[in-house]
Amino acid sequence: MTFKTIIESFTGAFVEQLFWYAGFAFPLFFVFWILGKKYFKKIRIQETQRAKSHHFKHDLSFSVSTFSIFAIFDICILYLDGKGYSKVYFDINQYGYMWLGISFFLVLFIDDMFFYWSHRAMHLPRFYKIFHKVHHKSTDPSPLTAFAFHPSEAVVEYFVGFVLPFLLPLNFGVIIAWQIFSMLNNVFAHLGYEIYPKGWVKLPILKFKTASTHHNMHHQLFNGNYALYFTWWDKWMGTEFKDYETRHAQIFERKNIKRSTEDLNSLFVQEEDLLLIKEQTQEKAPLRNS
Ligand SMILES: [Zn+2]
Ligand SMILES: [Zn+2]
């Protein structure tokens, strides 16, 4: 690889990353946060918008750096694939339709598991400032927050995407479907509006798919709801906020919510959780935006 081809490959990979971002995050930000702001107010997760333009600028600038890191990983994958190291295949018949379906759900399970545990690790005091503080600048997240990572966290976020194509035989279509699912899920998790219907969190099986409220509560309260795709790791490990279901239901029954000047009061957080939040946020992150 010459210097010129490296630059060309990087530019191509970076533009492709931006293309995904422009296809998902920007349109949803525009529709929910600008054009339909009044219309969608009824499904706003945090009743009062606290994200300001300086949060959007912060999130955008760190998203650009994230996509640069992702583009570097893309080039490495392409290079190693060219050398014949990857197990990516194109002909479905090579492994059959059964493996096609299983492999899709397997990558989601592995990706979700890695995200849950690495995310929990990044909330440990010794790692929080280095890796994760940048992402938590927005306590009222928007679609622009979805990829706002410190470069060190961006490396962690791409880890599974980087190693799996070399460990498992994955059809190219599965990788694209995984990328689209991941991008959409990430943007909906940071949407700031609940797009999953009333009662979702109580539905059999489907309740294991996180609603938008799930990760929004993580941005507001920090020490729980660590998963991004599915709720099972939080349920198994006892890290799901106790009032996740109540909070989701309340969005559809606004008139029953006790209005309060204290944003957190409307969440019915347990006393011990509040103490932990105060402890954690005093040192490492602002609880509310100024
Ligand atoms: Zn987030
Ligand atoms: Zn976090």
Q: Residue 287: is its pLDDT beyond 70? A: no
* Assigned token pair, 17: 């990353």
Separation of alpha carbons 206 and 228, rounded Å: 14
pTM of the model: 0.84
The ligand whose atoms approach the alpha carbon of 215 most closely is: 1
Say how many Å lie between the CA of residue 150 and the centre of ligand 2: 12
Give the mean model confidence (pLDDT) for residues 32-49: 92
Residue 169 CB partners (closer than 8 Å, separation 6+): 87, 88, 89, 94, 95, 99, 103
Q: Residue 55: is its pLDDT beyond 60? A: yes
Q: Residue 7: is its pLDDT beyond 80? A: yes
Q: What is the largest CA-CA distance in the chain?
A: 64
Say how many Å lie between the CA of residue 227 and the centre of ligand 2: 9
pLDDT at 91: 97
Q: Residue 1: is its pLDDT beyond 70? A: no
Q: DSSP state, 134?
A: G
CA 216 to chain centre: 10
Say how many Å lie between the CA of residue 152 and the centre of ligand 1: 15
The ligand whose atoms approach the alpha carbon of 222 most closely is: 2
pLDDT at 22: 82
Say how many Å lie between the CA of residue 99 and the centre of ligand 2: 33
Say how many Å lie between the CA of residue 171 and the centre of ligand 2: 31
The residue count of the chain comes to 290
pLDDT at 256: 46
Say how many Å lie between the CA of residue 133 and the centre of ligand 2: 8
C-alpha distances in Å from residue 54, one per residue of 59, 137, 148, 279: 9, 10, 13, 25
Q: Residue 269: is its pLDDT beyond 50? A: no
Closest Cα partner for 195 from 32, 27, 66? 32
Say how many Å lie between the CA of residue 145 and the centre of ligand 1: 7
| Vertex 37: Cα angle to 47 and 32 (nearest 5) | 100
Say how many Å lie between the CA of residue 211 and the centre of ligand 2: 16
Separation of alpha carbons 122 and 126, rounded Å: 8
Say how many Å lie between the CA of residue 79 and the centre of ligand 2: 32
pLDDT at 224: 95
Owner of token pair 């955008």: 60
pLDDT at 14: 84
The model's pLDDT over 204-218, given as tens digits with 9 standing for 90+, comes to: 999 999 999 999 999
Q: Is there a contact between 117 and 103 (Cβ–Cβ < 8 Å)?
A: no
Say how many Å lie between the CA of residue 89 and the centre of ligand 2: 35
Residue 144 banded pLDDT, cuts 50, 70, 90: very high
The ligand whose atoms approach the alpha carbon of 143 most closely is: 1
Range of weakest confidence among 169-173, 222-226, 228-232, 273-277 = 273-277
